[in-house]
Structure 1
Amino acid sequence: MTRAIKPDHYEQGIPVFKPSTAQFEDFYAFNKAVHPYGMQSGIIKVIPPSEWVDSLHDSPDYLTQEDLLNVKLKNPIEQQVSLMSNKSCFSIDNVEKHRTYTLPQWKKLHDQLKYSLPRPRGAKSDSIKSKDGFVPDEKEGEFIANIDTSIYEQDYIEFLESQYWKSLKFSAPLYAADSLGSLFPKNLKTWNVSSLPNLLDYLPGKIPGVNDSYLYAGLWKATFSWHLEDQDLHSINYIHFGAPKKWYSIPQDQHREFYQLMSNTYPDDAKHCSEFLRHKTFLVDPKYIRSNGITVNEIVHREKEFIITYPYGYHSGFNLGYNLAESVNFAIEEWLPIGLRAKKCECIDDSVGIDVRKLMESVSKCILCPTLMQENTFQDSLKKLFILGTNSKAHRICGKIIPGLEVDGDLITKYFSMIDNTKLSICNYCGEGGYCVSCSFQDCTNCYHVLCSLNSNVLIDRCKIYCEVHKGEAVTKFDLLEIGDIISFDSKYGEIVSLDKEKKTTTMATFPEAEHILIHQYQLESIKAPNRKRDRDDDD
């Protein structure tokens, strides 16, 4: 769970989020929190915390020479642009070029006249270069993937945008889109575009570009035309390095008007296929759209930033030069009814369709808290418990901690014979109702869903919750513990410790990754609690 997260600011109608490290660490919860904003603006921008960016770029496994040189950009598309009778409307024919490029070869295209950036009239060759930009010289046998992106100041970007719409039909852009792969390190757990925790994890297999990430190598004017995502899914796009992208989006409350405008503009295509905008071949100048009374939001997307697109949020854009981005679709609970209603294009052979009803059968929700059953999130503590005599399921950790329940193996055999004050409370963390556990200190009224308590700064001690104010009152009595009981959890430090008397071990897991790690063995007659992280910090 995550509290409501507000944008840091807006840029030309698009909310820009600058989450804290704590807000950023849970991809799924963050996207549930910001979902209402994206469903108004069509897209949002997320600027990740500097700690995340620094950690990523400090990783020896990120953008390695081996990974960069292994990128194969197969069959890039030459975008042959035709001008319609209305000079603000275009049709793009994406023609595959039967060639494979490496990244060094692709970068060299950036310097060719055909794909080079235009300069303002009368400008000298070095007039658009910023003194702040620095790209180290390549050593022999070394490939430097990036370019000097400091040239992309606001005035120059506005000039490039005007040149884009003026010159689009004169030279065909080249775009290496839809190249299967990822440049994120496999061990990156947070916001790794190639392995984002979401409902598409429940699909039986990988669908390229949908739940298996694609790389996109851009050059000047390489375009993505007006479209929605397959099955009206969300999508996320991260620029690893290089030039910015310019994005346009339509607010959802005007998506029907936009569709009608495009149908009137391209009547033959609309008549042939009601989902013609999924063809990604129709491009209209935002000025023309605005002249018809429809709002167009816009934003510049720079390297090391994310853009997230939303259902019903038509979007388009183009690349401002050489770059490499990574993108994939994802889904959260709010998408399920949208996905059920979504239609797909029937005139394209590889059009994506997801059996949403079957997916919904695979996705189940804990009856005791608002969090989905995702076993890969917290291993043993989130394994399913089945409630005797029902088809409902619950997280094991919820069954252990919520008063009035009795757990036998994988069954909750006694279900709220003692409700106590847990039913229909309002969680102090997420603000949603449900089965909450009150702070165990005297008459404290603070209460939490069990998994919300793992995200908030509270303490779980011997299966009791203590709020942030009273967490110092917890006293662990190890002689009362049973096999599998949780000894303690301090969400501030992300450690959960459980006991297994048979194996004579205590086990620590880190939330949310929760890879169980054996931390020490002990003698039952002289059991001692593991040192809290704060104690270790004090000794440093």
Structure 2
Amino acid sequence: MEMAEEVMTFTPSKEEFKDFVRYVAFMESQGAHIAGIAKIIPPKGWKPRHTYDDIDDLLIPAPIQQVVTGQSGLFTQYNIQKKPMTVVEFQKTSNLAKFCSPRYVDFDELERKFWKNLTFNPPLYGADVSGTLFDPDVSEWNMAHLNTILDTVESESAVKIKGLTTPCLYFGMWKSAFPWHTEDMNLYSICYLHYGEPKSWYVVPPEHGRRLERLAKGFFPGNAQSCEAFLRHKMTLISPSILKKYGIPYEKVTQEAGQFIVTFPFAYHAGFNHGFNCAESTNFATQRWIDYGKQAKLCSCRQDMVKISMDAFVRKFQPDRYKLWKAGKDDTPIDHVKPTPEATMEKKSWCRRKNRPYAVIRKKTSNM
């Protein structure tokens, strides 16, 4: 089996942490995007919020119960909307005997319990709650204003898209999960775990994304026939043992409270929560994303699926390709290894600061 790239962990200094766009470019200059996901541990002392003691009464308007059917590593998740509840009510529910986290020695044991018990005791998930827990005066990595080129959507069309151009909160409990998907329009995503139990992620590197799509299509032919982009429905759970059996490279990473996770364009990811927690997430973009956005396969069967016009992005950032693209003739293949154009300058700058030689990223190739 071909190995996936190792997931990188970054520990920026206070100075490096000040500029989000620049640091993402630096991460790509180091090859972080090749794995499809990266972990970032903020500088010591950095806090996004003074206190979390004041959010108990925050309302979760539409918690969902996640009912899972299936067997042998192949599952479908159905979301049943429940009545509104406050954060403190959700937390109390998560502590009930049938919902609380099991005892476990290490991650491997917890992971086995997750996949073994997926179809029992459907958990609740407080997903897609509009809002942010970042204090307004926090300037670093504040999800309410990351200041990336995705802001072009708002400036050009005066449209805000919940969870995509604005942040959303996610309240998890043991076994609540997010099925295999890429982000809307194959964008980047950023997730911060404010507090609580860890969140574990699986990721398939972007260069192997089409292989995962073919595998899912083979296992769920009815879904694939109904919608070419059925994985965008976020209903499909495929266990790592199945991925391994069919030679799909993947990696896992566990996010602890106080850590960021960034997913890169066209990185299929899935995961689950270890227990009660609160995370915040939104999308962003770099110039490298534009080709992914142009080639994104969109769901054709649901009215509420997100679609962004790429016109403003191509016109502004790829003017030399605009006419070709408008004529439907811009079929430039995507290079999943090449970092975003902003990264070249940032890597040279970083090398100068650290007094290190500049090197070009090469793709690792190894076999198991």
- TM-score, with structure 1 as normaliser: 0.56
Deviations 1:293-328 (A, max 9, x none): 111200111100001111121000000000000000
**Matched residue, 2:67:** 80
Distance 2:58 2:271 in 1: 24
Amino acid at match of 2:69: S
1:12 is displaced (CA, Å) by 8.5
Matched, 1:100 2:94: no
1:25 is displaced (CA, Å) by 1.1
- The structure 2 residue matched to 1:335, chosen from 289, 296, 302, is 289
**Matched residue, 1:119:** 103
**Matched residue, 2:52:** 63
**Matched residue, 1:216:** 170
- The structure 2 residue matched to 1:90, chosen from 71, 75, 78, is 75
**Mapped contact 2:182–2:268 kept (Cα < 8 A):** yes
1:363 is displaced (CA, Å) by 6.0
1:211 is displaced (CA, Å) by 0.7
Distance 2:265 2:133 in 1: 26
Identity rate, percent = 34
**Mapped contact 1:12–1:299 kept (Cα < 8 A):** no
* Other structure's SS at 2:45 match: helix
Matched, 1:48 2:42: yes
1:430 to 1:321, Cα distance in 2 relative to 1, 3 A: closer
Matched, 1:32 2:10: no
Amino acid at match of 1:34: M
- The structure 2 residue matched to 1:192, chosen from 137, 142, 164, is 142
- TM-score, with structure 2 as normaliser: 0.82
Amino acid at match of 1:39: H
Distance 1:236 1:431 in 2: 21
**Mapped contact 2:5–2:34 kept (Cα < 8 A):** no
Deviations 1:368-395 (A, max 9, x none): xxxxxxxxxxxxxxxxxxxxxxxxxxxx
Distance 1:246 1:335 in 2: 25
RMSD of aligned C-alpha atoms?
Answer: 2.3
Amino acid at match of 2:160: K
Matched, 1:167 2:128: no
1:290 is displaced (CA, Å) by 0.6
Distance 2:53 2:121 in 1: 34
Deviations 1:481-505 (A, max 9, x none): xxxxxxxxxxxxxxxxxxxxxxxxx
Amino acid at match of 1:111: N
1:194 is displaced (CA, Å) by 1.9
Matched, 1:309 2:263: yes
Amino acid at match of 1:263: K
**Mapped contact 2:189–2:284 kept (Cα < 8 A):** yes
Matching of residues 176-325 of structure 1 within 5 Å: 176-203=126-153, 204-325=158-279
* Other structure's SS at 2:12 match: coil
Distance 1:198 1:299 in 2: 25
Distance 2:57 2:119 in 1: 33
**Matched residue, 1:109:** 93
Higher relative contact order (CA 8 A, sep 6+): 2
Q: 4+ runs of 1 displaced by more than 3 Å?
A: 359-365, 428-432
**Mapped contact 2:287–2:317 kept (Cα < 8 A):** no
1:196 to 1:430, Cα distance in 2 relative to 1, 3 A: closer
1:246 is displaced (CA, Å) by 0.8
Q: Which entry has the higher C-alpha Rg, 1 or 2?
A: 1
Distance 1:430 1:349 in 2: 40
Deviations 1:193-223 (A, max 9, x none): 1211111212222100001100000011000
Amino acid at match of 2:178: F
1:357 is displaced (CA, Å) by 1.2
Distance 1:288 1:38 in 2: 25
1:431 to 1:278, Cα distance in 2 relative to 1, 3 A: closer
Distance 1:286 1:364 in 2: 38
1:51 is displaced (CA, Å) by 3.2
**Matched residue, 2:10:** 17
* Other structure's SS at 1:340 match: helix
* Other structure's SS at 1:52 match: coil
Deviations 1:442-484 (A, max 9, x none): xxxxxxxxxx79xx98xxxxxxxxxxxxxxxxxxxxxxxxxxx
Distance 1:12 1:40 in 2: 7
Distance 2:164 2:45 in 1: 28
1:429 to 1:82, Cα distance in 2 relative to 1, 3 A: closer
**Mapped contact 1:12–1:298 kept (Cα < 8 A):** no
**Mapped contact 1:336–1:356 kept (Cα < 8 A):** yes
**Mapped contact 2:26–2:346 kept (Cα < 8 A):** no
How many residue pairs end up in the alignment? 320
1:39 is displaced (CA, Å) by 2.7
1:364 to 1:205, Cα distance in 2 relative to 1, 3 A: farther
- The structure 2 residue matched to 1:353, chosen from 307, 311, 336, is 307
Distance 1:23 1:75 in 2: 38
**Mapped contact 1:76–1:177 kept (Cα < 8 A):** yes
Distance 1:169 1:64 in 2: 34
* Other structure's SS at 1:194 match: coil
Distance 1:430 1:45 in 2: 19
Unaligned residue ranges in structure 2 (runs of 5+): 320-343, 354-368
Distance 2:69 2:282 in 1: 29
Distance 2:28 2:228 in 1: 27
Deviations 1:86-125 (A, max 9, x none): x11001111111x1111111111122112111235xxxxx
1:33 to 1:114, Cα distance in 2 relative to 1, 3 A: same
**Mapped contact 1:21–1:51 kept (Cα < 8 A):** no
**Mapped contact 1:38–1:309 kept (Cα < 8 A):** no
Distance 1:429 1:307 in 2: 24
* Other structure's SS at 2:298 match: coil
